[in-house]
């Protein structure tokens, strides 16, 4: 395997820590990890480290101390600097590790003027990445479903990869971003992958060892049909005693092999995966079955709420995919065990560049909820386009134009990973920032996404001239908005090539069973989801959002076509008509993509040539693709509406 890029942990980023004298007190495997990190930093930058009792004669610039904070169950830590000495105190080894990475982010500021004592702790307990990695190469989806960064870090062609060093390096990057849980395999669990739970458990144990060194617990995606396909039982009915006993036994064996195992992830009754509906049971019955097996060991089940009819008749206007999660799960609130975490995609459809917040999140006060984001850029340019997603996530978390997700994700944040065996980890080198930013926002949803970007730039390109930092900032900060401008307009979504989900195909999904339609005709476009005349989806929101989204006057422009079918001449809140807005944003978006490429030329000679070339090559594709999007979308709507562009630009 080629050596991989250092991402946000290059040796140079450790200069401040590595050039001072550090004392580490505490014991345990994770404290050893902390000590190893500081030792490596000192070896590179000339500092010194003492691990254990302080020596009388020495004076330390930095003290990392375990066991001096009262709050024993968090991963928190406290940082202060006084009288020329920086101190990090934590009650748990996990806290100490996070404290070390906090100092790394501070850089020289960790050793400058006084810092008043400040406590830090994560907003949520579980900050998790889901891998959609397959063990076997799937005939359609490949080694990693929706993976745009090469192969899997864990498996190749049906066999485990032996390179645990690379997994260890990955774990280290994740820990430095604040992530503490990883689900190893795809939620679509095929035949070989199902066996990770039983006879291939040693592979899980091996990976768990590599992640454990950085305080990360592993989880496994399992198939609901496991008692049948692995256990040879005639049924997987959650009420059947044999099934319950099988799960209890199998789970005990998992914990015998991996004592700190995190739990299961389940996609049930969804896109062809088996589930409790087969047995006339509901999703609380299904989730509780696994929860009961995990409970004695302290494990959790992440039960996905991505349940909808993917065999819908496009002629049927009464079925609305957006309603599905709420319709299935809101009635079950209060019926789940404490160790069930309902894992809900942030939007009601499927990781589009713009969606409202999923209303089911607001309807589960008695259920532990995790919100699922997609770091892998399935619908946002597949890591061929620069699309820095943290501003979108931050809007969702803070509640700009919708309910604030941060307060609803009571049990954590989960995201689909964008990493693979690519030398840059993420295919597009700049897509590393999405992985980093997800971890940082999961730790603290209140962080400013642009500040996170600058932090990532600072760590990844330490010592870079200000000019390079500015170029990266200018290319990336607004790139999600740019992507939104040249793709599907005003929240309507899904105008992508079916199956692969890359590039424009306006009617690609329009007459399919997938429930993702835009209903454009010669008069107008958009999905009427109102209570008054549409599918009634707006009624799933609590006040004030049920009113805001229902009302043409109040609905945010960005979401207009998600909630309403309007004539092309409809005037937006921003003063433009819908059709003119489509033209204007598409010309602007494609122009901005070209501007990104122009800006990148200024980075020549300022970054490693391989990185420069990789980014340039992808920007070429982004510029091409953005122009294609612009022309197909504009032409389509011009032909449908017959309304010319007020600025008379070229439309085909």
Omega before 260 within 30 of 0, i.e. cis: no
Catalytic residue among 350, 355, 372, 584: 350
Please report how close the Cβ of residue 374 comes to ligand GCW at its closest, in angstroms. Answer: 7
How far is it, in rounded angstroms, from Cα 632 to Cα 652?
A: 8
How far is it, in rounded angstroms, from Cα 135 to Cα 154?
A: 8
| Residues found near ligand GCW in the complex (CB under 6 A) | 132, 145-146, 187-188, 267, 271, 306, 350-351, 378
Catalytic residue among 271, 521, 601, 613: 271
Please report how close the Cβ of residue 352 comes to ligand GCW at its closest, in angstroms. Answer: 10
Residue placing its CB nearer to ligand GCW in the complex, 146 or 217: 146
Residue placing its CB nearer to ligand GCW in the complex, 334 or 499: 499
For the question of residue 350 being annotated catalytic, the response is yes
> 167-189 b/e with 16+ CB inside 10 Å = b?
bebbbbbbbbbbbbbbbbbbbbb
How far is it, in rounded angstroms, from Cα 446 to Cα 399?
A: 11
346, 373 in Cβ contact below 8 A?
Answer: yes
Residue placing its CB nearer to ligand GCW in the complex, 336 or 494: 494
96, 74 in Cβ contact below 8 A?
Answer: no
Please report how close the Cβ of residue 267 comes to ligand GCW at its closest, in angstroms. Answer: 5
For the question of residue 617 being annotated catalytic, the response is no
For the question of residue 455 being annotated catalytic, the response is no
SS3 call for 90:
strand
> 549-576 b/e with 16+ CB inside 10 Å = b?
bbeeeebbebbbbbbbbbebebebeeeb
Please report how close the Cβ of residue 565 comes to ligand GCW at its closest, in angstroms. Answer: 24
How far is it, in rounded angstroms, from Cα 224 to Cα 235?
A: 10
Helices (H), 444-567: 449-460, 466-476, 479-486, 545-550, 560-563
Q: Give the strand pairing for 155-156 and 133-138.
A: unpaired
246, two tokens: 């099988």
Task: Give every CB contact of residue 639 below 8 A, 6+ residues apart in sequence.
Answer: none
Please report how close the Cβ of residue 130 comes to ligand GCW at its closest, in angstroms. Answer: 9
Residue placing its CB nearer to ligand GCW in the complex, 270 or 535: 270
Burial classification of residue 463, based on how many CB atoms lie within 10 Å of its CB (0-12 exposed, 13-18 middle, 19 or more buried): exposed
Residue placing its CB nearer to ligand GCW in the complex, 145 or 558: 145
Residue placing its CB nearer to ligand GCW in the complex, 22 or 221: 221
Residue placing its CB nearer to ligand GCW in the complex, 157 or 271: 271
268, 274 in Cβ contact below 8 A?
Answer: yes
Cα-to-chain-centroid distance, residue 538: 26
Helix (H) or strand (E) holding 33, with range, is helix 29-45
Please report how close the Cβ of residue 379 comes to ligand GCW at its closest, in angstroms. Answer: 7
Residue placing its CB nearer to ligand GCW in the complex, 503 or 524: 503
Helix (H) or strand (E) holding 34, with range, is helix 29-45
> 380-389 b/e with 16+ CB inside 10 Å = b?
bbbbbbbbbb
How far is it, in rounded angstroms, from Cα 3 to Cα 10?
A: 13
Please report how close the Cβ of residue 43 comes to ligand GCW at its closest, in angstroms. Answer: 42
How far is it, in rounded angstroms, from Cα 96 to Cα 511?
A: 55
The pair phi, psi for residue 324, each rounded to 5°, is -60, -50
Residue nearest to ligand GCW (CB): 350
How far is it, in rounded angstroms, from Cα 337 to Cα 329?
A: 14
How far is it, in rounded angstroms, from Cα 283 to Cα 307?
A: 10
Helix (H) or strand (E) holding 41, with range, is helix 29-45
Residue placing its CB nearer to ligand GCW in the complex, 127 or 146: 146
Residue placing its CB nearer to ligand GCW in the complex, 271 or 554: 271
Please report how close the Cβ of residue 509 comes to ligand GCW at its closest, in angstroms. Answer: 12
How far is it, in rounded angstroms, from Cα 518 to Cα 566?
A: 11
Helices and strands in the chain: count of H runs, count of E runs: 19, 20
Catalytic residue among 63, 69, 372, 378: 378
Please report how close the Cβ of residue 501 comes to ligand GCW at its closest, in angstroms. Answer: 6
Residue placing its CB nearer to ligand GCW in the complex, 271 or 601: 271
303, 286 in Cβ contact below 8 A?
Answer: yes
Please report how close the Cβ of residue 416 comes to ligand GCW at its closest, in angstroms. Answer: 7
Q: What number of residues does the chain have?
A: 652
How far is it, in rounded angstroms, from Cα 608 to Cα 211?
A: 29
Please report how close the Cβ of residue 188 comes to ligand GCW at its closest, in angstroms. Answer: 5
Residue placing its CB nearer to ligand GCW in the complex, 226 or 475: 226
Handedness of CA 416, 417, 422, 424 (dihedral sign): positive
Please report how close the Cβ of residue 364 comes to ligand GCW at its closest, in angstroms. Answer: 19
How far is it, in rounded angstroms, from Cα 546 to Cα 530?
A: 9
Half-sphere exposure of 199 (CA within 13 A, CB side): 6
Q: Which residues are catalytic?
A: 271, 350, 378
């Amino acid at each position: 395997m080629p050596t991989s890029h250092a991402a946000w942990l290059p040796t140079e980023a450790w200069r401040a820590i590595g050039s001072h004298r550090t004392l580490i007190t505490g014991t345990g495997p994770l404290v050893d990890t902390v000590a190893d990190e500081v030792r490596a930093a000192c070896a590179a930058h000339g500092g010194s480290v003492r691990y254990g009792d302080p020596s009388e004669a020495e004076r330390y610039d930095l003290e990392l101390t375990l066991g001096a904070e009262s709050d024993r169950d968090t991963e928190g830590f406290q940082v202060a600097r006084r009288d020329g000495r920086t101190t990090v105190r934590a009650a748990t080894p996990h806290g100490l590790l996070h404290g070390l990475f906090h100092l790394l982010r501070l850089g020289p500021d960790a050793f400058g003027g006084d810092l008043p004592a400040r406590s830090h702790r994560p907003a949520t307990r579980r900050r998790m990445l889901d891998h959609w990695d397959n063990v076997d190469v799937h005939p359609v989806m490949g080694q990693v479903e929706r993976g745009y960064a090469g192969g899997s870090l864990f498996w190749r062609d049906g066999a485990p990869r032996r390179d645990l060093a690379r997994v260890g390096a990955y774990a280290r990057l994740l820990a430095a971003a604040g992530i503490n849980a990883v689900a190893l395999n795809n939620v679509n669990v095929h035949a070989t992958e199902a066996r990770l739970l039983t006879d291939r458990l040693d592979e899980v144990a091996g990976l768990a060892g590599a992640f454990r060194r950085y305080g990360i617990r592993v989880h496994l995606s399992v198939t609901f049909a496991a008692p049948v396909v692995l256990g040879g039982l005639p049924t997987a009915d959650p009420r059947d005693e044999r099934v319950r006993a099988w799960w209890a036994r199998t789970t005990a064996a998992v914990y015998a092999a991996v004592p700190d195992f995190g739990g299961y992830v389940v996609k049930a009754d969804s896109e062809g995966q088996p589930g409790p509906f087969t047995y006339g049971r509901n999703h609380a019955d299904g989730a509780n079955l696994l929860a009961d097996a995990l409970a004695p060991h302290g494990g959790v089940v992440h039960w996905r709420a991505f349940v909808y009819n993917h065999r819908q008749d496009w002629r049927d206007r009464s079925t609305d995919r957006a309603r599905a999660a709420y319709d299935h799960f809101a009635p079950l609130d209060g019926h789940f065990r404490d160790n069930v975490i309902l894992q809900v995609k942030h939007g009601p459809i499927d990781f589009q560049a713009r969606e409202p917040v999923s209303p089911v999140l607001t309807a589960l006060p008695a259920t532990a909820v995790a919100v699922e984001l997609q770091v892998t850029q399935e619908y946002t340019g597949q890591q061929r386009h620069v699309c820095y997603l943290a501003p979108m996530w931050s809007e969702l978390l803070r509640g700009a134009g919708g309910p604030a997700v941060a307060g609803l994700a009571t049990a954590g944040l989960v995201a689909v990973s964008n990493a693979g065996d690519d030398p840059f980890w993420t295919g597009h080198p700049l897509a590393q920032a999405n992985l980093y930013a997800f971890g940082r926002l999961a730790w603290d949803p209140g962080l400013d996404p642009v500040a996170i970007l600058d932090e990532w730039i600072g760590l990844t390109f330490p010592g870079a001239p200000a000019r390079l930092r500015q170029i990266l900032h200018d290319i990336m900060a607004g790139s999600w908005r740019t992507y939104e401008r040249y793709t599907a307009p005003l929240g309507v979504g899904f105008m992508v090539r079916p199956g692969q989900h890359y590039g424009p195909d306006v009617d690609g999904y329009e007459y399919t069973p997938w429930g993702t339609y835009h209903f454009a005709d010669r008069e107008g476009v958009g999905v009427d989801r109102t209570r008054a005349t549409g599918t009634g989806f707006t009624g799933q929101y609590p006040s004030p959002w049920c009113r805001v989204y229902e009302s043409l006057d109040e609905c945010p422009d960005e979401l207009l076509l998600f909630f309403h079918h309007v004539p092309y001449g409809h005037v937006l809140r921003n003063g433009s008509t819908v059709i003119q807005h489509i033209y204007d944003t598409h010309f602007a978006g494609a122009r901005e993509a070209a501007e990104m490429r122009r800006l990148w030329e200024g980075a020549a000679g300022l970054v490693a040539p391989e990185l420069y070339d990789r980014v340039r090559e992808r920007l070429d594709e982004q510029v091409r693709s953005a122009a294609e999007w612009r022309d197909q979308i504009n032409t389509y709507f011009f032909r449908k509406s017959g309304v010319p562009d007020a600025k008379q630009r070229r439309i085909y």
